[in-house]
Amino acid sequence: MDVLNVEYMLGLVPVLLRYLPLTLQLAGIGMVFALILACLFAVVRVLRIPVLNQLTIVFISFFRGTPLLVQLFLFYYGLPQLFSALTVIDGITATIMGLTMHFAAYMAESIRAAIVGVDRSQTEAALSIGMTNGQLMRRIVLPQATRVALPTLMNYFIDMIKATSLAFTLGVTELMGATQKEAAGSFLYFEAFIVAAIMYWIVVEILSKLQNYLEIRLNKAYSR
Amino acid sequence: MIKLTSLSKHFGDTVVLDEIDLTIEQGEIVVIIGPSGTGKSTLLRCINFLEDPTSGTISVGNLSVDAKRASRKDILAMRRQTAFVFQNYALFANKTAIENIAERLLVVDKWPKEKALKKAREILAKIGLDEKADAYPASMSGGQQQRVAIGRAMAAGAEVILFDEPTSSLDPEWVEEVLGLMKQLAAERQTMLVVTHEMSFARDVADRVIFVEGGRIVEQGPPSEIFQNPKDPRTKDFLKKILATNPAIPNHS
Ligand SMILES: Nc1ncnc2c1ncn2[C@@H]1O[C@H](COP(=O)(O)OP(=O)(O)O)[C@@H](O)[C@H]1O
Ligand SMILES: [Mg+2]
């Protein structure tokens, strides 16, 4: 076995770092959309809104029950075939769509559980003073549910960052795609991928630290 | 004035409220007593539409709602006329004491923030909890939480405040401060409908005591009459039992 080419690895760091922002953007944008969608799904499920509830159940089941890679291919290759207006769907858009729907399906269930976990008597108290269902959700239930769900949602965000690496299969040159290209040029596969792995690892470690900090803060919330 | 006409509530085949007729005058303090499981909570909850009554009419102030034809708008309007104090306080855990009291003014009555907070501060002073304005429910004692819950009900400016066993979940040490606040409200002639097992409160404060059993009003009258000279054997039986298990209650006024 050859010795590790450390010089090559160090040289690769600044090259690959240029692609890290795209990775983070994919995850960041995907997370924002996924959160919005997940909240909507969760509210539909909790209030059992007719028709929408059934549709949501099927949607969630599908996106939890199929591999993310299959979903990405469906969006990237499948959609343009169905809708000719979408012939220009690019890899980045397809990745964000896939990440959004896949993770919204998971997060909806966490948010739903957190909503159901909010003491039912507070719901009655809010209704008793004449609040509408919408006001009740926005002002009383969701703020409390968010605090409960936040650690789990952070976990999904971490998962999503790692899942962005699948975007390279749609021709997106994010961190994984760039590494692939570099490795193919130098034939130093191990060196290239270990550098990429360490970069993912550092990002995730930072987020885990943030998660721990938030969890401690949140446990103290509402107790002043 | 509150007027219930033939108010009924069925859960499936079970008749929990059986054609209740009840009129409460403005400023009247009415206490409901009776064994558990006889529909006392359900009666209060129907007035506030936390349960949908099966049939009958509810009139509060100049609002009258027929249970069978109650629209969403009617229900919201009725809830704005009636305030509820729950056994387990049910304060909003994500809001401070002052926010709990101001919430209804801000969100339901759409008052500007300054005005709502000013009013909430007045109420806090009245319930003796100014220093807890910025405390969250989790850091308050049961008695303090229930006083804030009563403050939240006061803020509504409702025609009537409905109390469902407001001291039953409290440690004994906090019962007096909550009853004290209720007495203060009674002295101001706030119309109140109170379900309680605190017979001394009924005796000292109520204008009228109603004994309920099996979803019906069995007997009602001024406390002196109900406690000293109950007519119905079921009332006698209930009072004998409750006075035996609660020696703190005086037998003669
Ligand atoms: N949501 C419900 N579904 C079915 N039965 C109920 C429900 N709520 C109350 N009941 C029944 O109605 C009866 C009266 O209950 P409740 O009004 O709570 O009595 P109380 O307050 O006098 O103890 C009880 O037998 C109870 O089991
Ligand atoms: Mg009850």
pLDDT of residue B249: 54
Give ligand 1 pocket residues (Cβ under 6 A): B 11, 16, 36-42
- The mean per-residue pLDDT over the stretch A127-140 comes to 93
Q: Which of B146, B211, B217 is nearest to B185 (CA)?
A: B146
Q: Which atom of ligand 1 is nearest to the CA of B215?
A: 14
Q: Give the pairing of strands B216-221 and B208-213.
A: antiparallel
For residue A184, the tally of other CB atoms under 10 A from its CB is: 10
Residue B60 bridge partners (DSSP): B2, B63
CA of A118 to the centre of ligand 1 (A): 23
CA of B190 to the centre of ligand 1 (A): 27
More confident residue, A2 or A32: A32
For residue B62, the tally of other CB atoms under 10 A from its CB is: 8
Instruction: State pTM to two decimals.
Output: 0.83
Contact yes or no for B79 and A127 at CB 8 A: yes
Tokens of B126: 């009245």
Q: Which amino acid is at A52?
A: L
Which helix or strand (DSSP H or E) is residue B243 part of? helix B233-245
CA of A90 to the centre of ligand 1 (A): 59
- Taking contacts as CB-CB distances below 8 angstroms, the residues of chain A near B51 are none
Distances (CA, A) of A139 to A49, A122, B194, B217: 20, 11, 29, 39
* Chain A residues contacting B via beta carbons under 8 Å: 119, 121-122, 124-132, 135, 139-140, 143-144, 147, 222-224
SS (H, E, C) B143-204: HHHHHHHHHHHHHCCCCEEEEECCCCCCCHHHHHHHHHHHHHHHHCCCCEEEECCCHHHHHH
Q: Which fold has domain A21-172?
A: MetI-like fold (1.10.3720)
Instruction: Measure in Å the smallest separation between the Cα of B224 and chain A Cα atoms.
Output: 33
Instruction: Measure in Å the smallest separation between the Cα of B158 and chain A Cα atoms.
Output: 9
Q: Which residue of A has its CA nearest to B132?
A: A224
| Dihedral angle, C-alpha A12, A15, A20, A22, nearest 10 ° | -140
Q: Which protein residue's CA is at the shortest distance from atom 20 of ligand 1? A: B37
- B224: Cβ contacts below 8 Å, ≥ 6 apart: B253
* Chain B residues contacting A via beta carbons under 8 Å: 48, 50, 76, 79-80, 82-84, 86, 88, 90-96, 103-104, 107-108, 134-139, 149, 152, 156
Q: Which residue of A has its CA nearest to B154?
A: A129
pLDDT of residue A62: 97
pLDDT of residue B166: 97
The number of C-alpha atoms within 13 Å of A164 and in the hemisphere containing its C-beta is 31
pLDDT of residue A221: 74
A4 alpha carbon, distance to own chain's centre:
34
Instruction: List the domain boundaries for chain A.
Output: 21-172
Surface-to-core class of residue A2, CB atoms within 10 Å of its CB (0-12 exposed, 13-18 middle, 19+ buried): exposed
Q: Which residue of B has its CA nearest to A147?
A: B94
What is Dmax (Cα atoms) for chain B?
Answer: 55
Ligand nearest to the CA of B40: 1
- Taking contacts as CB-CB distances below 8 angstroms, the residues of chain B near A121 are 86, 88, 90
| ipTM score of complex | 0.91
pLDDT in tens, chain B (253 residues): 999 999 999 999 999 999 999 999 999 999 999 999 999 999 999 999 999 999 999 999 889 999 999 999 999 999 999 999 999 999 999 999 999 999 999 999 999 999 999 999 999 999 999 999 999 999 999 999 999 999 999 998 899 999 999 999 999 999 999 999 999 999 999 999 999 999 999 999 999 999 999 999 999 999 999 999 999 999 999 999 988 876 555 544 4
A111 near A191, Cβ under 8 Å?
no
Tokens of A100: 């959004």
- Taking contacts as CB-CB distances below 8 angstroms, the residues of chain A near B88 are 121
Contact yes or no for B88 and A121 at CB 8 A: yes
Distances (CA, A) of B165 to A23, A122, B42: 57, 17, 12
Give CA–CA dist A32/A99, Å, rounded: 11
